[in-house]
Amino acid sequence: MLKRADKNRKLKPATLMVHGGTTRSGFGETSEAMFLTQGFVYPTAEAAEARFKGEEPGYIYSRYANPTTRMFEERMMALEGAEDARGTASGMAAVAAAIQCQVKAGDHIVAARALFGSCRYVVETVMARCGVSCTLIDGRDLGQWQAAVRPETKVFFMETPTNPTLEVIDIPAVAEIAHQAEATLVVDNVFATPIHQKPLELGADIVVYSATKHIDGQGRCLGGIILSSKDWIDENLHEYYRHTGPALSPFNAWTLLKGLETLPLRVNQQTHAAATIADRLAERSEVSRVLYPGRDDHPDAAIARRQMAAGSTLVAFSIDGGKEAAFRFIDALEIILISNNLGDAKTLITHPATTTHKNLSPEARAELGIGDGLVRLSLGLEDVEDIWDDIDGALAAV
Ligand SMILES: *Cc1c(COP(=O)(O)O)cnc(C)c1O
C-alpha cells in the first residue's frame, strides 16, 4: 500500500485525486466499491489468530480500519505526501483525537487564539478537565509562540488561514519554534485546502481536516482525517484510534472519495470566484474592509505568497453600519444562502459575531477582529457574475 502511495506522489494532484489509493475488488469495478460491513470473516481459526497478532495482513473490524475508508485515507496521503492517515467521523473528531492522543495530565499546549469555535473549546475546556493546560496567543506574533513555551509543552496547534478573518500564520517559522521546544505542530488546514497549502512540506508534524468542507464539497456528509508520519501514527494515534472509536463511516468515506475526484476543479474555480469578488468588493463604498489572503492589501500577504499556492475560497468583509447593516445586506441576498458551512457547491454567507463566534466575549471577538459588521462569504460553483449581481443588489439595499 505504501508502495502505491510512493508511486502516486510523483503524479499531479488532479490525477492523484482520480486514481490515488484505489483498490479494486475481484469484480474490477470502475468506481470505488463501498464496503458497508462492520466486521470481516476468517477462513480458519489459525488465520484469525495470525491477523490479530499482526502476522498476516487483513481487516479485523471497521472501527480499526475498513477497505473503503482506507482508499480515502490513501488518496489523501498521496495528495498530502503523508506516510499514514486515519479517517474520522468529523473534523472535530480529527482535531480532538490528534491532540488528545499525544498528551497526558501535566502537559501543556500552545495554540493560536483565532480558532474555529469547537477547536477552541477542545484546547481550552476539554483539555483543562484532563489536566492539560493551554496558552492561547496571537499566532501571527512569533515572539508569543516562543514566550509561551514551558518545559512541559507538548503540542502547538493552529489554523491558517483562520476563521473568519483569514489571518495567515507562518507555518515554517512556528514549526521551528515547536521543534526547538520538542513539541509537535498540528495544523488544521481546512481553510487553505490541500490544494493550496501543504503543511507537512512546510514543517508541520500533523495535519487535520474537516472533510465536511471542501473535500465533500457538496454539503452531504461529515468527515475528517488526521495525516502524519508512520512513526507518529504508530506511536501516538494507532491504539488511541482503535479503542476510542472516532472511525469514519465507510458510506461517508465513499462520498468523500467521490468528492476528492473533483476537489482540484472545484477549489480552483471557487478561488478564482473569491479573488474576483474580493477585488470588486474593495471598490465599494458600502464595504469598509476586505480580507482576502490573495490580495496585496492583506496584512499577511507576504506569508500567504510564500506558503500558499493561491488565496482562498472565502472572503471576509465588513459592511459599514455594524450589525444592522450587515443583517440588511444578508437578508437582501437572493442566490447566496445563509449558512455557517463552507467549501460547498452553494455560495454561503454567515455573520460570525452572532453565529459561529457568539460564545466569545465581546473583548475576545474584538481581539480577533470580528466586528459587528463582518460577514464571511464562502464561494460556491455558481456563475461568478450571478453571485456578483446578487451582492451588488444587496449592497444597494444597505
Ligand atoms: C468545520 C471546521 C472544523 C470542524 O469540522 P466538522 O466536520 O464540522 O466537525 C474544524 N476546523 C475548522 C477550521 C473548520 O472549519
Do 70 and 180 lie in one domain? The reply is yes
- Kindly report the protein residue whose alpha carbon is nearest to atom 5 of ligand 1: 91
Task: Please give the pLDDT value at position 1.
Answer: 38
pLDDT at 287: 96
123 Cα–ligand 1 center, Å: 14
Nearest residue by C-alpha to atom 11 in ligand 1: 116
Is residue 110 helix, strand or coil? strand
CATH of the domain at 138: 3.40.640.10
Ligand 1 atom nearest to CA at 159:
13
In a domain, 346, yes or no: yes
User: Does 196 lie in the same domain as 142?
Assistant: yes
6 assigned to some structural domain:
no
Ligand 1 atom closest to Cα of residue 191: 13
Please name the amino acid found at residue 304. A
CA-to-CA distance for 66 and 316, rounded, in angstroms? Answer: 39
Nearest CA to ligand 1 atom 7: 91
User: What is the CA(179)–ligand 1 centre distance, in A?
Assistant: 26
Residue listed under C-alpha cell 477497505: 67
Cis peptide upstream of residue 151 (ω within 30 degrees of 0):
no
Dist. CA 116 → ligand 1 center (Å):
7
Query: What are the cell numbers at 88?
Result: 474520522
- Select from 261, 286, 303 the last residue of a domain: 261
Contacts (Cβ under 8 Å, ≥6 apart) of 324: none
Whether residue 3 is contained in a domain is answered as no
Residue 291 included in any domain? yes
Q: Is the domain of 206 the same as that of 276?
A: no
> What is the residue range of 241's domain?
11-261
Do 274 and 220 reside in the same domain of the chain? no
| CA-proximal residue: ligand 1, atom 6 (nearest) | 91
Residues in the chain predicted with pLDDT less than 70, given as ranges, are 1-9
Question: Is residue 281 located within the same domain as residue 249?
Answer: no
Residue (of 111, 97, 101, 173) closest to 142 by Cα position: 173
Last residue of some domain: 206, 237, 261? 261
Q: What is the 357 CA–ligand 1 centroid distance (Å)? A: 13
State how far the Cα of 187 lies from the Cα of 333, in Å rounded to an integer.
Answer: 34
The pLDDT assigned to 7 comes to 56
Based on the domain organization, do 124 and 142 belong to the same domain? Answer: yes
Mutate to test the pocket of ligand 1, among 213, 220, 256, 312 (most ligand atoms within 8 A of CB): 213
Report the separation in Å between the CA atom of 256 and the middle of ligand 1, taken as the mean of its atom positions. 15
Task: Please tell me the distance from the alpha carbon of residue 346 to that of residue 333, in angstroms, as a whole number.
Answer: 13
- Please report the pLDDT score of residue 10 as a whole number: 78
Q: Ligand 1: which residues within 6 Å by Cβ?
A: 90-92, 95, 116, 118-119, 159, 163, 188, 190-191, 210, 212-213, 222, 224
Closest CA to 69 of 207, 296, 247, 234: 247
State the distance from the centre of ligand 1 to the C-alpha of 216, rounded, in angstroms: 12
Whether residues 255 and 273 share a domain: the answer is no
116 lies in some domain: yes
Q: What is the pTM of this model?
A: 0.96
Any domain includes 276? yes
| Residue 4 belongs to some domain of the structure | no
Kind plus residue range of the DSSP H or E element containing 317: strand 314-319
Within 13 Å, how many C-alpha atoms sit on residue 381's CB side? Answer: 14
Note the pLDDT tens digit of each residue in 144-187. 999 999 999 999 999 999 999 999 999 999 999 999 999 999 99
Last residue of a domain, one of 261, 284, 299: 261
- Please report whether residue 2 resides in a domain: no
Q: Are residues 177 and 56 in the same domain?
A: yes
Residues 237 and 133 in one domain: yes
CA distances (Å), origin 375, targets 126, 276, 314, 338, 378: 29, 17, 11, 11, 10
- For residue 360, the model assigns a pLDDT of 87
We report the CATH number of the domain holding residue 314 as 3.90.1150.10
pLDDT at 359: 86
On whether both 304 and 186 belong to a single domain, the answer is no
Rg (CA), the chain: 22
Q: Between 67-80 and 250-261, two packed helices, what is the crossing angle to 10 degrees?
A: 40
Task: Please list, in sequence order, all residues whose beta carbon lies within 8 angstroms of the beta carbon of residue 94, skipping any fewer than 6 positions away.
Answer: 88, 208, 209, 210, 224, 225, 226, 246
Q: Using CA positions, which residue lies closest to atom 15 of ligand 1?
A: 190
Number of domains in the chain: 2
Question: Do residues 282 and 391 both lie within one domain?
Answer: yes
Q: How far, in Å, from the CA of 91 to the mean position of ligand 1?
A: 5
Strands (E), 93-240: 108-112, 133-137, 153-159, 184-188, 206-210, 224-228
* Whether residue 257 sits in one domain with residue 267: no
